[in-house]
Each structure stands twice: as C-alpha cells, then as structure tokens.
Amino acid sequence: MKYLLLILVSALSLSTYSQLDRKAIYAALASESKETVQKQLDGIQNMKETPEVKAFKGALQMKAAQFQKTAKEKLNLFNMGKKALESEIKSNDGNVEYRFLRLLIQENAPKQLKYDGNIEEDALSIVSGYSKLKESTKAAIESYAKKSASLKNLL
C-alpha cells in the first residue's frame, strides 16, 4: 500500500513538473493562430515556475497580446510578458535560448512598442552560443533565421 501511494504521488508530481515542449512552443510563437498560442500558454500555466518556464511563458504572453481585443488589453498582456522575459534574461544573462525568445519577439513586435533595443546583441549571443543549444532550439533558430533580418547572414 505504501508503494502504491508513493507511485501515485510521483505520477501526479511528474505531470506538474513536466518538461516544456519546445517544438510546440516555437511552433506557436511562429503561428498566427490565437488557439495555437493559447493552447501552449494554457499548458505552461500548470508547470512549476522555473526560470525556463517563466521565460517561455513571458514570450507566449507577448505573442498572445496581438490577439487581444483592445489596445489596453494588448499592451497590458505584452508588458506582463515582457517583464517576465526581461527578468529571466537579467537573472540568466548567458542563457542563449532566452535571448532567442527575446529576438523573436523584438523582430516581430509592432514598432510603436519600441521593443527592439537588443536585437543586435541577442543575434551575436545566439551565434556564439548556438553550438551549445538543445537540438529543438537549434531547429527553431535555423527555421527562424531564414526570415530573420538579424540572423540570416549570421548562421
């Protein structure tokens, strides 16, 4: 009975601490589908708040902002995501994947948001740290580099 309870508790905790599905998240960030982005955002909500989860959640929130109804809702959600992502980049300055998330958002954010101040430094960070990244992240970078103004000549 003790072992059964231990197995049950372990199984439940694994669902809460499951790893990010990078491929699905990057697909959502590249998507123009509100449902696709929201599905990934909903999935990440129940995960343990690690720096990685916070960074991805922030990027997804910024992407989801474009689907909000009013300008105020768009700006509020974008700023909430920006705060989360920027906080994780500040705490983990050498994390190349977080910088890729920011680059993705900055290159695609509306110009009036003036969220484009780190594109060059992030692109250089991505190029220099590319070899150390997970394969799923490398694949996302390679795919994005084809349409990125700052990465197309660097990779």
Q: What CA–CA distance (Å, rounded) separates 90 from 34?
A: 29
Q: What CA–CA distance (Å, rounded) separates 125 from 74?
A: 29
Average pLDDT, the chain: 88
Cβ-proximal residues to 60 (8 Å cutoff; 6+ apart), any chain:
25, 28, 29, 37, 40, 41, 44, 81
Q: What CA–CA distance (Å, rounded) separates 71 from 63?
A: 14
Any idea where the domains of the chain sit in the sequence? 29-146
| Residue 3 clears pLDDT 80, i.e. is over it | no
Mean pLDDT of 132-153: 92
Mean pLDDT of 48-53: 96
Q: The pTM is what?
A: 0.86
Tokens linked to 40: 């990934």
What pLDDT score does 18 carry? Answer: 57
Mean pLDDT of 126-148: 94
